[in-house]
Structure 1
Amino acid sequence: MVQKTEKRPRGRPRAYDPEQALTQATDAFWRTGFSGTSLDDLSAATGMNRPSLYGAFGDKRALYLATLDRYIETGRRLMEEVLDNNLPLRKVLKRLYDQALVLYQPPGDAALGCFLIGTAATESVADPDVRNKLGEGLRTFDRVFEARLRHAQARGEIAATANPAALAKIASAVLHTLALRSRAGDSAASLRATADAGVQLICGST
C-alpha cells in the first residue's frame, strides 16, 4: 500500500483572515460609504496592501458587494436567534430593537445606523448589482419577521385576522426608521420610544 503525501501549496501562506478582513472593510465602508472609501482606506483598515486586496476580493466594488452579502447573512442569523420562538413576541421584538440600537449607536462613537440602508441606498441608484443586494437584504429581513409573526399568530399572540406579511414589513420599517434617525442624531430615549410604539403597533392589545 502506497502512502500518499500531502502536497504543500506553493508560495507564501495566506497571511490574512478573510472574515476579519471583511469585517474591517465593512467598518470602513460603513463610516464613509462606498464612494468615500478609497483603496488606501481599505488597505489601512484591513492591513492588506492593494495587490493582496485585489488577489483576495477583486476590485473595490467586488469587495463592497462581498461586505453586503456578509452583512445580510449575519443579520439574518442574528435576527433568527434573537426572535426566539420560545419567548413572547413582545419580548423578542423589544430585544431585537434594543440590540439594533446598540449597533446603530456604538457607545462613545458617531452614530452609524444600518450598514445596508446607509450605504447601499445611495449606490443602488447607479449600480444594478447594489440595487439587487439592497432588495435581497430587505426581503431577507422581511421573511425572518414574517416567519416569527406566523408562529406568534399560531400561538394567539397576534390576531387571527392579522396579515403577517404586512406586519413583517412594518417590523422592518421600524428597524429602518431607527437606523436613519440614529444617523440623524435622535436621542436614545426618542429612539427607544419609537421602538416601543412599533412593538405596540405590531402586537396590538394582545
Structure 2
Amino acid sequence: MTVTRGRPRGFDPEQALDQAIDVFWRQGYEGTSLSDLTTAMGINRPSLYAAFGNKEQTFKLAVDRYARIDMAYAARALAAPTAFEVARRYLTDNVDAVTAPGRPPGCLSIQGGLSSAPDDDPIVRYLAARRAEAEREFARRFQRAIDEGDLPANEDAAELARFLSTVSAGIAVQAAAGARRDDLQRVVDRALAAFPAGAGDGEGARRV
C-alpha cells in the first residue's frame, strides 16, 4: 500500500490497518466513528483520508487484510484432499479463530455489519457479496468432489456450501456472545456428523 501526503513520521499503514480492524471488529461499522479510527490508528483525519480514503474505504481495506491474515485458514481448508476434510478443517479452524486469545470474539466480516443504519447499506451489501463469493468457492470445491466420486453423485454442492457457511456464521455469532471454545467445537462435531459420506463410504457420520 502506498501512503501519500499527510503521512506522520513513523507511520506504518499495515499496523494502522490492524488497529482499524480491532476497532471495527469490537464496535461494528456503524458504531465506529472517524474519531475512533484516528485515535486507534494514531493519525489525524487528513492522514487517514490520504492513506486509506473515507470510513467506508478504510473498512473495506481492513476487511481485505483481515481476510488475508485472520481467515487464511479458509484457503488451507479448500486445499484439503477430501470434501469431509475441507469441512472439518474449515469449521475447526473457524472455532479457533473466533475464540483466539487477545482478539475480539467472533468474526469481523460478521460483526462489522450486524447492526447497521440505512445509510450503511453499501457496507451490508459489500459484506454479503464477500460471503457469497466465499460460499461459491466451497461450492466449486464440493462440485469437484462430486465429479471425482468423493461425494455421492446426488449431492448438491451449493447446498453443502450454504450449510457450511451458515454453521460458521452461527459459530461466529455465538462466540461474540460469549460461547466457549469447547462448546463451539461440539457444535462442529454435530455439524460434521451431518456431513455426507463419500461415495462408497458408509462411515460418513462416524468420521468426526
TM above 0.5, one fold? Answer: yes
Task: Summarize the Cα distance change of 1:13–1:46 in structure 2 as closer, same or farther, 3 Å threshold.
Answer: closer
Extract unaligned runs of 5+ from structure 2: 198-202
Task: Summarize the Cα distance change of 1:125–1:117 in structure 2 as closer, same or farther, 3 Å threshold.
Answer: farther
Aligned match of 2:151:
158
Identity within the alignment, %: 33
How do residues 126-165 of structure 1 correspond to structure 2 at under 5 angstroms? 126-165=119-158
Equivalent of 1:92 in 83, 86, 91: 86
Aligned match of 2:97:
103
Task: Summarize the Cα distance change of 1:136–1:69 in structure 2 as closer, same or farther, 3 Å threshold.
Answer: farther
Q: How many residues align?
A: 196
Is the 2:96–2:181 Cα contact (8 Å) retained in structure 1?
Answer: no
Aligned match of 1:44:
39
Query: What CA RMSD, in Å, does the superposition of the two structures yield over aligned residues?
Result: 2.8
Mapped to 2, the partners of 1:202 and 1:14 lie a distance apart of 53
Task: Summarize the Cα distance change of 1:77–1:198 in structure 2 as closer, same or farther, 3 Å threshold.
Answer: same
SS at match of 1:113: coil
Q: Spell out, residue by residue over 1:31-68, the C-alpha distance to the aligned partner (whole angstroms, 9 max, x if none).
A: 11223323333223222222211211222233123323
Q: CA deviation at 1:129?
A: 1.2
Q: TM-score, normalised by structure 1?
A: 0.80
**Partner letter of residue 35 of structure 2?**
D
Q: TM-score, normalised by structure 2?
A: 0.79
Judging by fraction of residues, say which structure has more helix.
Answer: 1
Mapped to 1, the partners of 2:15 and 2:116 lie a distance apart of 24
Extract unaligned runs of 5+ from structure 1: 1-8
Is the 2:17–2:62 Cα contact (8 Å) retained in structure 1?
Answer: yes
SS at match of 2:106: coil
